[in-house]
Each structure stands twice: as structure tokens, then as C-alpha cells.
Amino acid sequence: MSLLTLTDVARAYTTRRGLLGRSTEVRAVDSISLNVTAGRTLGVVGESGCGKSTTGRLMLGLERPSEGSVLFEEQPMPAPGTTEWRALRKRMQLVFQDPLGAMDRRLTIAQQVEEPLIIHGIGTASERAERVAALLVDVGLRADQAARHPHELSGGQRQRAVLARALATDPALLVCDEPVSALDVSIQAQVVNMLTDLQAARGIAMVFISHDLKVVRQVSHSVAVMYLGRIVEQGDPEALFADPVHPYTRALVSAIPVPGPRRIPRIVLTGDPPNPADRPTGCAFHPRCPVAVARCAVEIPQLRTMDDGRDVACHLAEPQARMAA
Ligand SMILES: Nc1ncnc2c1ncn2[C@@H]1O[C@H](COP(=O)(O)OP(=O)(O)O)[C@@H](O)[C@H]1O
Ligand SMILES: [Mg+2]
């Protein structure tokens, strides 16, 4: 079942350079359609600035789309701040990169985890205390850490506490925006494992946003690759990482460090990094694309389904040609 459905969603911001500067429109998300399936993890990858965080905020109704629709359980997302939206918020939670920024420094870990239960009027004081204790165990924190304050914990422990709080209201959807990017690599693996275990055990739908392809591959049931506010390739992570079709995905996958010989030779992207304020015509990737043809500078490629079920937005990706190859 599709828990969350984005259809042709765009989000534009108007920015002005300097006091008298001309205002320009930046399309952080250009036109994306996505389904988040109940109980499954959707990975969203792409370089910084491609619109991942904006997509996450659109999914939670923290941002309103400029175009298109966002449906949660087939109902239109209510406007932020309304009673309907607040009621829905306990079913969808956000975890982002900076756990300290997400916490109140004056509250203990137990108080932080209890807070959403109080806000949503869930349980009696003793029921809440019991639930908080269970949640802390679930995320791998010790009982004696409940009385600590955020600055007394390590980064990894703080992110565990933030997760416990996000899980407190038993959400159907968890949007994690670069949840481990600020942590040491050795700690990242532990937090990622805990997250995938909890996701599977509780049957939560998760959207895992990261610029780190290795992590996304590990956690996702489906992966969407974004470039300048659009999805360029989406599908099963095994197929997508073993045999990327879109030239941008190929370049990203070729840059993942691997021991031993590579299946795909390293592709180094040339040209300017993507800038949504200066979007190229046609396929936004064409100025950096090693295989671009004339058509790519003119016509925006739409996502088309390949024979193996994945979607690719590239004029050169031909389902039939791939079958013959
Ligand atoms: N509130 C905003 N106002 C103006 N521009 C924004 C705003 N939020 C994001 N952007 C722009 O939209 C683009 C995509 O941003 P973001 O979604 O944060 O990308 P990512 O998370 O992939 O790094 C960036 O160019 C960013 O500068
Ligand atoms: Mg971001």
C-alpha cells in the first residue's frame, strides 16, 4: 500500500541577490513523483543541493508544494500548523543530521523522549515513563543515560535518543535526512544497523535521505537518484548499484570506493556542479554527461520504465536496446 504519494511535485523559492538585486526563482524540486510504501525504506540520493531535504520537508507537509500533490494515506496533506496537520504529525516524524540542534539542552534524555507523548496526550505519567524506558532500550541506550542531558552524551548516543523520541508516538513514517552524516564512520554503521532493525521490526515506512550511496544501498528497498530537483533513476538497489543505467547514476556508483577491480571504470564528472539557480536546458545533466547527444540539450527526458522494472529519465536509455545487449 502506498502510504505517501507525491505526484508531479515542484517547490520553487524566490530569492533576491542583494538589496536591489533581481529576484530569481529557484526550483529546489522540479517535478517529482514518488510512492512511499508502508513498511518499506525508500532511499533518496544525490549531490548536495539537488533537493533531497526539500523533498523530505514536502513529504512531511513542512513545506507546501508550488505544484503537484502530496497525499498521505490517500488524503491531501493538510496545511502546516492546522489542527489536522498537528494530528497527522504524530504519524510522521523527522530525524535529521544534527541531534544536538533537535534537542532541548535543558531537558534530560528521558524528558526529551517523553515530550511528544505529552504533546499528543498519550498515556498516564506512569505509562509514559514505562514507554520511555522501553524506547531507550530499543535504541540501545542504557537506563542510567535517561537522566543525562544531551551534552553529556556522544554524538551517536544523542542520535539514538532523537530516534527514541521520533519513535515515541509509533509513527507510520520516519523521514531521516542525513541521519548519520555527522557521525564518525565507526559509529555510523552501528546507528544504521539499529535503524534498519527498528524499521523492520516495527514495520515503519522510512525515507532515508543521504548523499552517501553506500549507506543508502544498505538500508533501502528502493532507491531514487536525484539530480537538480528531478529523479533521474529509481529502482531496486541491487540492480541499480550493480548496473546503473543513467549516466549520472553510473558516475556516482563508479565513485564508490571498493576493494579490488571495479565493474564500472571510475567516471570523473567534468563541468560545473549543479546549480538550481542556473538550470541547463533539456536534460539538466547534459553539460556534464559523457554521452550526451544534441537532443539532450533541448528536450527534458521523462522517467520511463525499463524491462527490469526500474525507471530511468535518459533519452539514451532504451528498454529494447538493453534487452538486446
Ligand atoms: N528556503 C529556501 N529558500 C531558498 N532556496 C532554498 C531554500 N531551501 C532550499 N533552497 C535551495 O534549493 C536547493 C535544494 O536544496 P536542498 O533541498 O536543501 O538540497 P539537498 O538537501 O539535496 O542538499 C538548493 O539550491 C538550496 O539552496
Ligand atoms: Mg539536505
pLDDT of residue 25: 87
pLDDT at 248: 96
Task: Give, using CA atoms, the residue closest to atom 16 of ligand 1.
Answer: 51
Question: What is residue 266's predicted lDDT score, i.e. its pLDDT?
Answer: 86
* Residue 324 confidence (pLDDT): 45
Ligand 2 center to 78 CA (angstroms): 23
- Cβ(93) – ligand 1 distance below 6 Å: no
- Amino acid identity, position 98: D
291 three-class SS: coil
Nearest CA to ligand 1 atom 18: 53
Residue 320's pLDDT is: 59
Name the residue with the closest Cα to ligand 1, atom 20. Answer: 49
Nearest to 92 by CA among 104, 106, 102, 77: 77
Residue identifier of the C-alpha nearest atom 24 of ligand 1: 49
Is the CB of residue 225 below 6 angstroms from any atom belonging to ligand 1? no
Q: Is there an atom of ligand 1 within 6 Å of 210 CB?
A: no
- In whole angstroms, give the CA distance from residue 85 to residue 81: 6
What is the pLDDT, as a whole number, of residue 17?
A: 73
Neighbours of 73 (CB within 10 A): 14
- Cell 521520533: give the residue: 166
Greatest pairwise CA separation for the chain in angstroms: 68
Q: Report the SS3 class of residue 45.
A: strand
Spell out the domain ranges in the chain.
2-91+171-324, 104-170
Phi, psi angle pair for 131, to nearest 5°: -65, -40
- Distance between CA 10 and CA 26 in Å, rounded? 11
Contact between 241 and 212 under an 8 Å Cβ cutoff? The reply is no
d(C-alpha 269, C-alpha 281), whole Å: 18
Cβ of 26 closer than 6 Å to ligand 1, yes or no, is yes
Give residue 323's pLDDT: 47
In the CATH scheme, what is the code of domain 2-91+171-324?
3.40.50.300
Q: The whole model's pTM is what?
A: 0.94
pLDDT along the chain (325 residues), means of 10: 95 83 88 96 95 97 96 93 90 92 94 96 96 96 96 95 96 96 91 94 97 94 97 96 95 85 80 85 95 96 94 88 46
- Cα separation, 173 vs 235, whole angstroms: 20
Ion ligand 2, residue ranges at CB < 5 A: 52-53
Residues sharing a CB contact under 8 Å with residue 22, sequence separation 6 or more, in sequence order: 16
Ligand 1 atom at shortest distance from the alpha carbon of 209: 21
* The three cell numbers locating residue 324: 538486446
pLDDT of residue 15: 83
Q: How far is the CA of 49 from the centre of ligand 2 (A)?
A: 7
Residue 22: the pLDDT is: 78
